[in-house]
Every structure is written in C-alpha cells, then in structure tokens.
Chain A
C-alpha cells in the first residue's frame, strides 16, 4: 500500500488568512483526491487533483477558495483561502496506486481550526 504524509498535521489559523496543506506519497500513483471532514461529519470530496492541469472540483467547491496543485505523480497541495470558522475541518488527501487500482489510501489528515 502507498504511504502518505501530510503537512501540517494540525494548525490554528486566524480568519481571513490562507493555509497550504501538502500531501506526499512514497510511490507513483494514478489519482489523487482531496476530501473534507467537518466536525462529527462524514467525508466530502472537494476535488480530484490532476497532474499538470487544473483540478476537477465537485459541486459547491471552487478554485478560488480551494486552489490545488499537482506538479508530479507523488505530490499535491491544497490551499484553503480567506479562511472563516466554517472552514474548520480535517482535510485529507487520498490516492489510488498504480498497482491496486480499486483501493484508495488516505493520508493522516490535517486538522484545521479557524478562529
């Protein structure tokens, strides 16, 4: 299985600021996704991170608020822009490996609190 790390693991931020979350995988993967888990809730897909092109966003999520980059097959970033307390969530990246195509592996998550 792929080993995924995320940085930072947690952060407390002020309203109106932005935070960039990094996701690093130890092997090449086909697909990378970003999810949000609001407190006490299930996971919601934010976007699919596409290598070398713009991410594909789900309904309710826009690039200006959640810009995503994926410069290569093993790394992606998610930025949460102009934060408000409603953005307080756990943000998780997940990957589909080249070798186990029908499973997704999740990173440990980034716990964000916006004051």
Chain B
C-alpha cells in the first residue's frame, strides 16, 4: 500500500535559519503530494501541493518539488520565523483521494 516516510523530529532552529524537512513516499500510479501544517491548538491547513512530477509547490516562503525519480517531496524554507513553529505533515493522495500521512515533524523556531 501507499506510505509516506518523514524526517523524524523534533527540529529546533534559530530564526532566519534554513529549513529542510525530508519526505519520501511509496505509491502505485501517480499520486498528488501535499504538505500540511498544524499550528499549536489549531486545525490542519494545507501549506502547498504538487500534482505531477517536477511540479513545485510554494506558499508563505515554503517550497517543495515533486521528484519522481527519487520519490521525494522535501519541504524547504530559506529563512524561518518564530511564527513557523508548528507540526508539518507530508501526505500523498492516490486515485481514491484518501490521504496517507507521514508521522509529522515538530518544528520549533527560537528568536
């Protein structure tokens, strides 16, 4: 079945540091890939998505590129802020539209 493997956390960075959260997947066919974010005490929000190979999703300074050859969708941000502190989930969606989530990565950004 489908699966998502996500970089273990927690991750602690200083403000303005570079962020990478690794995500790799296993799936049949051509899934869509997503990053969701969950801020403390809030619901799950879609951060960005990519629906086909070589697509780059971007939002709020975050980027991720759909790499079919390496089955990866790593999340990056050039300069993190304290307000980026949250839990980040990588996910994929197959033909049935159900989401398969990674384990989540807790990010803490220190001022």
**Interface residues, chain A, with chain B CB atoms under 8 Å away:** 30-31, 33, 35, 41-45, 48, 92, 94, 96, 101-109
Contacts and interface: CB of A to CB of B under 8 A. Distances in A.
19 contacts: A33-B98, A33-B99, A41-B104, A43-B99, A44-B101, A48-B96, A92-B43, A101-B97, A102-B32, A102-B49, A102-B93, A103-B34, A103-B49, A104-B46, A104-B93, A104-B99, A106-B43, A106-B45, A109-B43
Contact of A42 (B45, B97, B102): B102
Range, interface on chain B: 20 to 34
Given A106-B43, A107-B43, A45 B98 contact: yes
B27 interface: no
Interface string B93-110: 100111111111000000
Nearest to B50: A102
Interface of B: 32, 34, 36, 42-46, 49, 51, 89, 93, 96-104
Consensus secondary structure, chain B interface: strand
Given A31-B97, A45-B99, A96-B97, A106 B104 contact: no
A103 B46 contact: yes
Contact of B89 (A42, A102, A107): A42
